[in-house]
């Protein structure tokens, strides 16, 4: 599932000697599987290599089908030793997804680092663990403004939106490449040449447009780093009337099969001394009804009543 | 002591209440602890409730076996008939009373072995009814004999050294015999099973839904498959929805059974064809009666 590759190339030719710096340039590219992290890092590595640098690239990939976290370290310079970037040493942090960018922030050098992030949010399932009514997402609450105040140079843009306006949202990574191109010292035509050699022939036009649009955006927003008029606030949880789940157990019908106890995601049921299901922690219950669905004996009833409405089971 | 609650007096929140559909005087039901048939029965009643089917226009027919007994707990017109013949009985019932919604609850032994002949011909005729085949891989009620769906090498009372026969895929059989709606779902996915059953009951023509159920007390114990929770969780490792199966070439896990709607046909329904023929004959003979 997880694989690490190291591409190592020797210094090639004397043509690009002038762009080769003493200290390696460190670019960290992060995102979610499927967004094109590897494509971005390949473009950058090829470009740097063509300019006469020694390049080392190291990545974790293979998560694309799962939407997992993907990162890629690209280091280039006169002489590169380690294929990975030390903590706090990245010159550029390029994030294709907002929270992934925040997660890798400690790797960015505070004195000279450039932070580039797409404000697109891909909310992972883990951020939705709280199933209670009206529960907030477990996603980062920091706004682009908060983050840009913490870094020296930062760009937060809706690259996916820009790519969508060009007709292909999958070109978002190329938009970000355009922004990245302003932070690195390579010529625009070299960038375009490498990008065109990497993307599928049918998408050359849209990628070209996306790159130029990203570059143009970065030049236009060089001072602030973000679109002032765009709303980056997180969607608030849907306004629902909070319900208080209540679990009723028909003791005479329970046959102690243990399914509800073992299947409850919140572990709020148990078997009592007579091996009959019992509510152990009613405050943890989210009212997901799994116990009700899976009880083969119909002994469990889950009611989601308006909060404050405490009902007692009425018995004849 | 059975402390039964009057369903009319229970607090409600508007969700499905199974007590509206049960014969409460017979509860708790006779099935063993952890038996999947109870979950399947809930899914069926839930589907009927959501479809808004009138209890007086509902006929549930069942054969012999654990599956056969489930129909007795439904508060509707239910029929408990001879082993393997619920489909034959239901065919006659539907022909005589086409206004009824006819549902047949049958088991793997009931439908595929003893009533295999009726199963094939019910699929072939394509009469508008629904067969729910509760597949627990064993004859549970009669003492744990091997059934046509028992997995290879599993122990039963009649295969003390392991089952040596290949298994029947009920869905493939139904599809080949001409059923126009074939689906499969496991009891673990109760809401999905409910949705599948809703589609099956609403389908105009013969529909067959195979429900992967668990026999915990006889089959599970004899084969050391764990307790009820372990058995129902094991269903998960064997499942892959149809849509997912078609999009991913490399499965994350082996694929013993496919779930979801597996086949839909568009053959003419039996009664429609029958009425058309009656009309044609009457027209040929010159005017109606």
What CATH number does the domain containing A296 carry?
A: 3.30.70.20
The predicted pLDDT at position A34 comes to 82
Residues A282 and A144 in one domain: no
Can you give chain A as a three-state secondary structure string? CCEEEEEEECCCCCCCHHHCCCCCEEEEEEEECCCCHHHHHHHHHHHHHHCCCEEEEEEEECCHHHCCEEEEEEEEECCCCCCCCCCCCECEEEECCHHHHHHCHHHECCCCCEEEEECCCCCCHHHHCCCCCCCCCCCCCCCHHHHHHHCCEEEEECHHHHHHHCCCHHHHHHHHHHHHHHHCCCCHHHHHHHHHHHCCHHHHHHHHHHHHHHHHHHHHCCCCCECCCCCCCCCCCCCCCCEEEEEEECCCCCCCCCHHHHHCCCCCEEECCCCCEEECCHHHCCCCCHHHHHCCCCCEEEEEEECCCCCCCCCC
Mean pLDDT for B101-114 is: 93
Specify burial of residue A23 (Cβ count, 10 A radius: 0-12, 13-18, 19+): exposed
Residues A20 and A125 in one domain: yes
Task: Sort out which chain B residues have CB atoms less than 8 A from A301's CB and list them.
Answer: 10, 17
- Beta-carbon separation of A316 and B5 below 8 A: yes
Residues A66 and A188 in one domain: yes
Identify the top-confidence range among B16-25, B93-102, B152-161, B215-224. B93-102
- Beta-carbon separation of B27 and A263 below 8 A: no
The predicted pLDDT at position A106 comes to 93
Asked whether the beta carbons of A31 and A97 are under 8 A apart, the reply is: yes
Distance CA B39, CA B36 (A): 5
Q: Which of residues 191-250 of B touch A (CB under 8 A)?
A: 191, 216, 227-229, 232-233, 248
Starting from the edge strand earliest in sequence, which strands make up the sheet with A25-32, in order? A3-9, A54-61, A69-77, A25-32, A92-95, A114-118, A153-157
Final residue of a structural domain among A220, A235, A251: A220
| Number of domains composing chain A | 2
pLDDT at B136 over 70: yes
Distance CA A71, CA A62 (A): 11
Distance CA B56, CA B97 (A): 12
The predicted pLDDT at position B81 comes to 94
Distance CA A299, CA B28 (A): 9
Give helix A188-198 / helix A172-183 axis angle, nearest 10°.
Answer: 150
Starting from the edge strand earliest in sequence, which strands make up the sheet with B239-241, in order? B77-80, B58-62, B101-107, B130-135, B207-212, B181-186, B257-264, B239-241
The answer to whether position A11 is within a domain reads yes
The answer to whether position A24 is within a domain reads yes
The predicted pLDDT at position A291 comes to 93
The predicted pLDDT at position B232 comes to 86
What's the gap in Å between the CA of A252 and the closest CA on chain B?
Answer: 6
Task: Sort out which chain A residues have CB atoms less than 8 A from B36's CB and list them.
Answer: 296
From the CB of residue B24, how many other CB atoms can be counted at a distance below 10 Å?
14
pLDDT at B108 over 80: yes
The answer to whether position A142 is within a domain reads yes
Residues A207 and A85 in one domain: yes
Query: Residue A271 pairs with which residues in a beta bridge?
Result: A277
Distance CA A158, CA A98 (A): 10
Domain extent, residue B218, equals 21-284
The answer to whether position B5 is within a domain reads no
The answer to whether position A212 is within a domain reads yes
The closest of B16, B33, B9, B28 to B73, measured between CA atoms, is B28
Specify burial of residue A24 (Cβ count, 10 A radius: 0-12, 13-18, 19+): buried
A313 token code pair:
């089971």
Percent of chain B past pLDDT 70, that is, above it, reads: 89
Determine the residue of chain A that is closest to B41 in CA distance: A296
Q: What is the CATH number of the domain that holds A107?
A: 3.40.920.10
* Residues from A in contact with B at Cβ < 8 Å: 65, 243, 250-253, 255-259, 261-263, 289, 293-299, 301-305, 311-316
pLDDT digits (tens, 9 = 90+) for B228-252: 888 888 877 665 554 444 444 433 3
Distance CA B140, CA B155 (A): 13
What's the gap in Å between the CA of A290 and the closest CA on chain B?
Answer: 9
Distance CA A254, CA A193 (A): 71
The answer to whether position B43 is within a domain reads yes
pLDDT at B2 over 50: no
The closest of B48, B123, B61, B120 to B96, measured between CA atoms, is B61
Better-scored residue on pLDDT, B252 or B82: B82
Q: What is the CATH number of the domain that holds B127?
A: 3.40.50.970
| Number of domains composing chain B | 1
Residues A249 and A198 in one domain: no
- Beta-carbon separation of A289 and B34 below 8 A: no
pLDDT digits (tens, 9 = 90+) for B177-214: 999 999 998 898 899 999 999 999 999 999 999 998 98
The answer to whether position B1 is within a domain reads no
Rounded to 5 degrees, φ, ψ at B112 are -95, -25
Better-scored residue on pLDDT, A144 or B88: B88
What's the gap in Å between the CA of B190 and the closest CA on chain A?
Answer: 6
How are beta strands A25-32 and A92-95 bridged, if at all?
parallel
Residues A31 and A110 in one domain: yes
pLDDT at B41 over 90: yes
The answer to whether position A129 is within a domain reads yes
Task: Sort out which chain B residues have CB atoms less than 8 A from A261's CB and list them.
Answer: 229
Task: Sort out which chain B residues have CB atoms less than 8 A from A251's CB and list them.
Answer: 3
Can you give A28-81 as a three-state secondary structure string? EEEEECCCCHHHHHHHHHHHHHHCCCEEEEEEEECCHHHCCEEEEEEEEECCCC
Residues A67 and A123 in one domain: yes
Q: How far is CA B113 from CA A56, A74, B139, B141, in A?
A: 66, 65, 10, 15
The answer to whether position A152 is within a domain reads yes
Q: Say if B251 is an interface residue toward chain A (CB within 8 Å).
A: no
Q: Say if B30 is an interface residue toward chain A (CB within 8 Å).
A: no
Domain extent, residue A279, equals 243-306
Most B-contacting residue of A66, A68, A293 (CB-CB within 10 A), to test interface: A293
pLDDT tens, position by position, for chain A (316 residues)? 344 444 444 444 444 444 455 789 999 999 988 888 889 999 999 999 999 999 999 988 766 556 778 899 999 998 899 999 999 999 999 999 988 899 999 999 988 899 999 988 888 877 777 777 667 777 887 888 888 888 888 899 889 889 999 988 889 999 999 999 998 889 999 999 999 998 999 999 999 999 999 999 998 888 777 776 666 666 666 666 667 788 889 888 999 999 999 999 889 999 999 999 999 988 888 888 999 999 999 999 998 877 666 655 544 3
The answer to whether position A236 is within a domain reads no
pLDDT digits (tens, 9 = 90+) for B46-75: 999 999 999 999 999 999 999 999 999 999
- Beta-carbon separation of B38 and A315 below 8 A: no
Partner residue opposite B228 with nearest CB, options A253, A257, A316: A257
The predicted pLDDT at position B253 comes to 37
The answer to whether position B12 is within a domain reads no
The answer to whether position B56 is within a domain reads yes
Mean pLDDT for B261-275 is: 92
Looking up tokens 């990574």 gives A173
Residues A264 and A203 in one domain: no
Final residue of a structural domain among A158, A188, A220: A220
The predicted pLDDT at position B6 comes to 66
The predicted pLDDT at position B107 comes to 92
The answer to whether position B3 is within a domain reads no
Residues A135 and A61 in one domain: yes
Partner residue opposite A253 with nearest CB, options B10, B28, B227: B28
The answer to whether position A50 is within a domain reads yes
Residues A281 and A143 in one domain: no
Residues A259 and A196 in one domain: no
Residues A168 and A64 in one domain: yes
């Amino acid at each position: 599932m997880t694989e690490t590759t190291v591409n190592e190339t020797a210094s090639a030719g004397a043509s690009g000697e002038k762009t080769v710096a003493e200290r390696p340039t460190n670019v960290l590219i992060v995102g979610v599987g499927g967004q094109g992290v590897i494509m971005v890092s390949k473009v950058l590595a090829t470009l740097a290599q063509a300019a006469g640098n020694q390049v080392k690239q190291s990545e974790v990939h293979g998560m694309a089908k799962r939407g997992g976290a993907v990162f890629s370290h690209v280091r280039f310079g006169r002489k590169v030793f380690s294929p990975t970037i030390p903590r706090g040493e990245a010159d550029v942090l390029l994030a294709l997804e907002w929270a992934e960018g925040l997660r890798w922030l400690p790797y960015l050098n505070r004195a000279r680092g450039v932070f580039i992030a797409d404000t697109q949010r891909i909310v992972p399932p883990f951020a939705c663990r709280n199933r209670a009514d009206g529960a907030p997402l477990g996603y980062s609450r920091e706004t682009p403004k908060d983050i840009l105040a913490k870094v020296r140079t930062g760009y937060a843009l809706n690259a996916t939106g820009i790519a969508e306006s060009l007709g292909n949202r999958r070109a978002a990574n190329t938009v970000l490449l355009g922004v990245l191109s302003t932070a690195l010292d390579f010529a625009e035509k070299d960038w375009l040449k490498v990008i065109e050699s990497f993307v599928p022939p049918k998408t050359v036009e849209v990628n070209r447009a996306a790159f130029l649009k990203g570059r143009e955006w970065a030049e236009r927003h060089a001072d602030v780093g973000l679109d002032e008029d765009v709303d980056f606030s997180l969607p608030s949880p849907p306004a629902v009337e909070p319900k208080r789940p209540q679990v009723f157990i028909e003791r005479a019908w329970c046959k102690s099969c243990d399914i509800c106890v073992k299947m409850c995601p919140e572990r709020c049921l148990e078997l009592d001394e007579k091996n009959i299901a019992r509510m152990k922690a009613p405050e943890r219950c989210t009212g997901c009804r799994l116990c009700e669905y899976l009880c083969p004996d119909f002994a469990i009833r889950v009611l989601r009543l308006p909060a404050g409405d405490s009902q007692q089971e009425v018995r004849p | 002591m059975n402390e039964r609650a009057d369903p009319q007096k229970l607090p409600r929140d508007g969700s499905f209440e199974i007590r509206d559909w049960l014969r409460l005087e017979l509860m708790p039901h006779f099935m063993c602890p952890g038996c999947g048939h109870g979950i399947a029965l809930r899914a069926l009643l839930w589907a009927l409730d959501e479809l808004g089917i009138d209890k007086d226009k509902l006929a549930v027919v069942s054969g012999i076996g654990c599956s056969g007994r489930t129909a007795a707990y439904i508060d509707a017109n239910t029929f408990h008939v001879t082993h393997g013949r619920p489909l034959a009985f239901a065919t006659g019932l539907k022909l005589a009373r086409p206004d009824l919604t006819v549902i047949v609850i049958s088991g793997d032994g009931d439908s595929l072995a003893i009533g295999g002949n009726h199963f094939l011909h019910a699929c072939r005729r394509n009469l508008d009814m629904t067969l729910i085949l509760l597949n627990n891989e064993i004859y549970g009620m009669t003492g744990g004999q091997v059934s046509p769906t028992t997995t290879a090498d599993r122990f039963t009372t009649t295969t003390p050294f392991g089952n040596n026969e290949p298994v029947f895929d009920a869905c493939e059989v139904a599809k080949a015999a001409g059923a126009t709606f074939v689906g499969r779902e496991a009891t673990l996915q109760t809401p999905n099973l409910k949705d599948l059953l809703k589609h099956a009951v609403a389908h105009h023509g013969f529909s067959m839904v195979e429900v992967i159920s668990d026999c915990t007390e006889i089959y599970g114990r004899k084969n050391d498959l764990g307790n009820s929770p372990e058995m129902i969780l094991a269903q998960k490792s064997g499942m892959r929805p149809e849509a997912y199966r078609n999009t991913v070439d490399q499965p994350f896990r082996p694929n013993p059974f496919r779930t979801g709607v597996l086949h839909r046909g568009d053959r003419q329904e039996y009664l429609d064809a029958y009425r058309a023929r009656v009309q044609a004959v009457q027209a040929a003979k010159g005017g109606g009666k």
